[in-house]
Amino acid sequence: MAEVKYVQATRVYAKDAPPAVDALDLDIKDGEFMVLVGPSGSGKTTALRMLAGLEPLDGGRVEIGAKDVTWVPPKDRDIAMVFQNYALYPSKTVAENMGFALKMQHVPRDERDRRVREAAKLLDLDDKLLDRKPKALSGGQRQRVAMGRAIVREPRVFLMDEPLSNLDAKLRVQTRSQIAELQRRLGITTVYVTHDQVEAMTMGHRVAVLADGKLQQCDTPRQLYDNPVNQFVAGFIGSPAMNLQTVPLVEGGARLAGTVIPLPAAVRTAASQAGLRELVLGIRPEHLHLADGAGQIKGEVLLVEELGADALLHVRLAESRNQVIARAEGRRPPAPGQDVTFYVQPDDVFAFHPETGARIAA
Partner 1 sequence: MSAVAARTRMPGPQRFRAMANTVGWGIVAWVVGIAFFLPVLWMVITAFKPESAAETWPPKFTFSPTLAQFRLVFSGWGPYVIHSLIATTVSTLLVLLLGIPAAYALSVHPVKHWRDGLFFFISTKMLPIVAVIGPLYVIALHIHLLDSIWLLILLYTAMNLPLAIWMVRSFMLEVPNEMLEAARLDGAGRIREMTEVIMPVISPGLVSTALICVIFAWNELFLALNLSVTNAATLPMFLISSVPQEGLYIAHLSAAATVASVPVILVGWIAQRSLVRGLSMGAIK
Q: Which residues bind partner 1 (CB under 8 A)?
A: 52-54, 73-75, 79-81, 83-85, 87-92, 100-101, 104-105, 149
The secondary structure of residue 318, as a DSSP letter, is T
Q: Which is nearer to partner 1, 21 or 351 (CB)?
A: 21
The minimum distance between CB 147 and partner 1, in angstroms, equals: 13
Compare residues 28 and 98 and give the one whose CB is closer to partner 1: 98
Cβ proximity to partner 1: between 104 and 266 the closer is 104
Give 104 or 265: the residue with its C-beta nearer to partner 1: 104
Q: CA 165, CA 233: separation in Å to the nearest integer?
A: 22
Q: Residues, the chain, total? A: 362
Could you tell me which residues come within 8 angstroms of residue 329 by beta carbon, excluding any fewer than 6 positions away?
Answer: 310, 311
Report the nearest approach of partner 1 to the CB of residue 325 (Å).
38
In the complex, least distance from residue 314 CB atom to partner 1, rounded to whole angstroms: 40
- Which residues in 315-343 are b (16+ Cβ under 10 Å) and which e? bebbebebebbbbbeeeebbeeeeebbbe
Q: Cβ of residue 96: shortest distance to partner 1, in angstroms?
A: 10
C-alpha–C-alpha distance, residues 294 and 288, integer Å = 13
Cα–Cα distance, 70 to 61 (Å, whole number): 5
> Is residue 334 within 8 Å of 304, Cβ to Cβ?
yes
Who's near 224: CB < 8 A, 6+ residues apart?
Answer: 201, 207, 209, 217, 233, 237
Query: In 3D, which of 174, 172, 151, 153 has the Cα closest to residue 163?
Result: 172
d(CA 164, CA 147): 11
Closest separation in Å from C-beta 97 to partner 1: 9
| Minimum CB distance to partner 1 smaller for 75 or for 121 | 75
- In angstroms, the CA 186 to CA 165 distance is 23
CB of 345 to partner 1, least distance (A): 48
Q: Which of 156, 287 has the CB closer to partner 1?
A: 156
Q: How far is the CB of 29 from partner 1 (least distance, A)?
A: 23
Helices (H), the chain: 44-52, 94-104, 109-122, 139-152, 169-186, 197-203, 221-226, 231-236, 265-273
In Å, how far are 115, 163, 164 from 195, measured between CA atoms? 32, 11, 11
C-beta closer to partner 1: residue 13 or 269: 13
Nearer to partner 1, 99 or 333 (CB): 99
Closest distance of CB 309 from partner 1, Å: 39
The angle, 0 to 180 degrees and rounded to 10, between the axes of the packed helices 94-104 and 139-152 is 20
